C-alpha cells in the first residue's frame, strides 16, 4: 500500500504539472487524440463505497500518470532529436538567399550568420557552401581545435540521414601525404601544415643553422616540383617582356651569396600568450635561423624583364606554387624600391648552405629578403609581378600586422595597419634552459640577437637579478657592413654566481645601431595575433647548493 500510495502521489503531481498552458499545448501537439484533455481528479474518498471508489481513483491516476509520462517522453524526444536532412537538401542551401549550410561528419550547420565573421574571409567559407567542410579542414588543420568546434556547434541545425551515404569525393587523398621527412630533433608546433623549430640548445650551437634543423614555417602542403620542368614566370611592364625562366636560365645570372637570418613574425608568441590569449602557433624562441643563401639578385631579373624604379609607389608581388584545393596560392609582396636596390640584396635563391634548397625551404627557388619578416620570403616561387598596390594575398592583407593591445577580434580593422616588413630588435637566451639547475661558482649564458632592416646589434646586456644590475655579453659571429647586418650575432656571458644565491632570474636585452632597445615587458606590446614579440627574454634557474 505504501508503494502504491507513493505511485499515486507521484502520478497526481505529474498530472497537476501538466495543467500549465505550455504543457497542454505540448500534449495537444504530441497527441494523436484531439479530444484528449488531461485533468487532475480529486483524491477525496467518502460514503460506504469509499474504498472501492478510492481504488478506482488510484487506478485512474496511475493510468493517467502513465499516459502523461508517455506524452512527456514524446515531447522531450521531439525536442531533443535533431532534424534529419539529405545531402540534396544541404546542396540546395548554398547562397545567402537560400541560406548557407555546410556539413561536418554527420552534422548539418546553418552558417549564414557566420560567413562575414570568418577569419579567413567570406569567400573561403563560401567554397564549402552546400557541401562538406572536410576537404578544407584537411588542408587547414588549424580548424581542428576545440574553440573552432565550439563556434561551429552554435550553428548546428540537424544531422544527415544515415541512409544518405557520403559521396566518394570525400575519400580524397591526404594533401600532406607527400610532405618530406623531417629531423626528429625539431619541436613540432603543427603537423598539418608542418611548422617546427629547433630546440634552444641546438639553435646557437653553430652560427650557421644546419639545414635539417632550420625552423620550418609552412602555410600549405609542400609541393613536389620537378626541377627539369620548373619555370619562374616574371611579368614585364607595358612595353617590356615577360620572362619564363628555367633553373638553368637563373644560373646564367650572376650568382650572389649572402648570410641572412630569417625570423617568423610569431617568434616567442608563447610568451605573449602568458599575458592574454592570442591566435597563432605557440612558437617558443626558435622561430629564427640563419643560413648562407645563393642565387640570382631579384634586381637583375627584374631589370632583364624591363622593370625600373618609378616615382609612384609600387610593389613586387610574389606567388608560390603551394596552393589549396581552390588553387589559391601563398603570396606576399615587398616595395619595388627594396627589390630594385642592389644594396638590399634581395635574392631568388636556389642554394641553402651550399646545397639545393630542401623541399621544406622552397625547392627549387625561393625569395630571400634580407632584414624583412619571414612571411615575405615566399617559397616554391612561381610568379613575380609588379603592381601599384601590395599583394592581395590573405597573408599580406589579413595577417602579419600589429595592433594596439586594446584591439580585439570584434574591433580589428586589418586595413588600418601596414603589413609587417622590417622586424624590431630581438634577443633570447638559449642556454641555460628555463627551470634548469646550474652549478654555484660561475654560470655560462648564451643566446642570439638580431635586428631587422640591416641594423647591426651593437650590444647585449644580461642581468642575473631580474634587471636590477647588468653585465655586457661578448658578441660572436661575422662582422657585418653598416646597414647590411642581415644576420644575427651570437653572444655569451660567463658570470660569477653571487655567493649564497639559491636561484637566478636571468634577463637579456639587445640594442641595435639605431639605439633601438627591447621593451622590458610583454603587456604593452601585446596584440591579438601575437606577433612582434620582442620584450626582454627572461628565464628562472636554480643554483645547486655546495655540498
Catalytic (active-site) positions: 118, 143, 217, 264, 400
Contact call for residues 512 and 407 (beta carbons, < 8 A):
no
What is the sign, positive or negative, of the torsion defined by CA atoms of 359, 365, 371, 374?
negative
Number of H helices, E strands in the chain: 13, 27
Report helix, strand or coil for 398.
coil
The three grid cell numbers given for residue 514, joined into one nine-digit string? 639605431
C-alpha span between 349 and 379 (Å, rounded): 10
CA dist 76 → 71, 358, 546 (Å) = 9, 60, 71
Could you say which DSSP state residue 367 is in? E
C-alpha span between 472 and 491 (Å, rounded): 10
Helices 50-80 and 21-30, packing angle to 10 deg:
80
Q: What are the φ/ψ torsions at residue 79 (nearest 5 degrees)?
A: -80, -35
Neighbours of 510 (CB within 10 A): 30
Burial class (CB in 10 A: 0-12, 13-18, 19+), 285: buried
C-alpha span between 120 and 104 (Å, rounded): 18
C-alpha span between 509 and 538 (Å, rounded): 9
Q: What are the φ/ψ torsions at residue 63 (nearest 5 degrees)?
A: -65, -45
Closest C-alpha among 510, 535, 504 to residue 434: 504
The three grid cell numbers given for residue 163, joined into one nine-digit string? 541512409
Q: What are the φ/ψ torsions at residue 306 (nearest 5 degrees)?
A: 100, 10
C-alpha span between 458 and 473 (Å, rounded): 11
Amino acid at each position: 500500500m505504501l508503494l502504491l500510495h507513493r505511485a499515486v502521489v507521484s502520478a497526481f503531481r505529474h498530472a497537476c504539472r501538466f495543467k500549465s498552458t505550455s504543457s497542454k499545448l505540448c500534449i495537444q501537439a504530441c497527441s494523436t487524440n484531439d479530444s484528449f484533455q488531461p485533468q487532475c481528479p480529486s483524491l477525496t474518498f467518502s460514503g460506504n463505497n469509499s474504498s472501492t471508489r478510492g481504488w478506482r481513483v488510484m487506478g485512474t491516476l496511475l493510468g493517467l500518470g502513465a499516459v502523461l509520462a508517455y506524452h512527456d517522453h514524446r515531447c522531450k524526444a521531439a525536442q531533443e532529436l535533431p532534424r534529419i536532412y539529405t545531402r540534396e537538401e544541404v546542396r540546395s542551401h548554398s547562397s545567402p538567399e537560400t541560406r548557407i549550410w555546410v556539413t561536418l561528419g554527420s552534422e548539418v550547420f546553418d552558417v549564414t550568420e557566420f560567413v562575414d565573421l570568418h577569419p579567413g574571409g567570406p569567400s573561403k567559407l563560401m567554397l564549402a557552401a552546400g557541401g562538406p567542410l572536410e576537404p578544407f579542414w584537411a588542408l587547414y588543420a588549424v580548424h581542428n581545435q576545440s574553440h573552432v568546434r565550439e563556434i561551429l556547434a552554435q550553428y548546428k541545425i540537424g544531422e544527415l540521414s544515415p541512409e544518405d551515404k557520403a559521396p566518394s569525393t570525400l575519400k580524397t587523398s591526404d594533401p600532406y601525404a607527400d610532405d618530406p621527412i623531417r629531423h626528429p630533433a625539431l619541436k613540432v608546433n603543427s603537423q598539418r601544415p608542418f611548422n617546427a623549430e629547433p630546440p634552444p640548445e641546438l639553435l646557437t650551437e653553430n652560427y650557421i643553422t644546419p639545414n635539417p634543423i632550420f625552423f620550418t614555417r609552412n602555410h600549405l602542403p609542400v609541393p613536389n616540383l620537378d626541377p627539369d620542368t620548373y619555370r619562374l614566370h616574371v611579368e614585364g611592364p607595358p612595353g617590356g617582356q615577360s620572362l619564363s625562366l628555367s633553373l638553368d636560365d637563373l644560373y646564367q645570372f650572376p650568382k650572389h651569396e649572402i648570410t641572412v637570418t630569417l625570423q617568423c613574425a610569431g617568434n616567442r608568441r608563447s610568451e605573449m600568450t602568458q599575458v592574454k590569449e592570442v591566435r597563432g602557433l605557440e612558437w617558443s624562441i626558435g622561430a629564427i635561423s640563419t643560413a648562407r643563401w645563393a642565387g640570382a639578385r631579384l634586381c637583375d631579373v627584374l631589370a632583364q624583364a624591363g622593370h625600373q624604379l618609378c616615382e609612384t609607389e609600387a610593389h613586387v608581388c610574389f606567388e608560390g606554387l603551394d596552393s589549396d584545393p581552390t588553387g589559391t596560392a601563398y603570396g606576399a609582396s615587398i616595395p619595388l624600391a627594396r627589390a630594385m636596390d642592389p644594396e638590399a640584396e634581395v635574392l631568388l635563391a636556389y642554394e641553402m648552405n651550399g646545397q639545393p634548397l630542401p623541399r621544406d625551404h622552397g625547392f627549387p627557388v625561393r625569395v630571400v629578403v634580407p632584414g624583412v619578416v619571414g612571411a615575405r620570403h615566399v617559397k616554391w616561387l612561381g610568379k613575380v609581378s609588379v603592381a601599384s598596390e601590395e599583394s592581395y594575398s590573405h597573408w599580406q592583407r589579413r595577417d602579419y600586422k600589429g595592433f594596439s593591445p586594446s584591439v580585439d577580434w570584434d574591433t580589428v580593422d586589418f586595413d588600418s595597419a601596414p603589413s609587417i616588413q622590417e622586424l624590431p630588435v630581438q634577443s633570447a637566451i638559449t642556454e641555460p634552459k628555463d627551470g634548469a639547475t646550474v652549478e654555484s661558482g660561475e654560470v655560462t649564458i648564451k643566446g642570439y640577437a638580431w635586428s631587422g632592416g640591416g641594423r647591426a646589434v651593437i650590444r647585449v646586456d644580461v642581468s642575473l637579478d631580474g634587471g636590477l644590475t647588468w653585465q655586457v655579453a661578448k658578441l660572436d659571429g661575422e662582422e657585418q657592413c653598416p646597414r647590411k647586418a642581415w644576420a644575427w650575432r651570437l653572444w655569451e656571458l660567463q658570470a660569477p654566481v653571487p655567493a649564497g644565491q639559491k636561484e637566478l632570474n636571468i634577463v637579456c636585452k639587445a640594442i641595435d645601431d639605431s639605439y633601438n632597445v627591447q621593451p622590458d615587458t610583454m603587456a604593452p606590446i601585446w596584440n591579438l595575433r601575437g606577433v612582434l614579440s620582442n620584450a626582454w627574454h627572461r628565464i628562472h634557474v636554480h643554483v645547486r647548493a655546495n655540498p
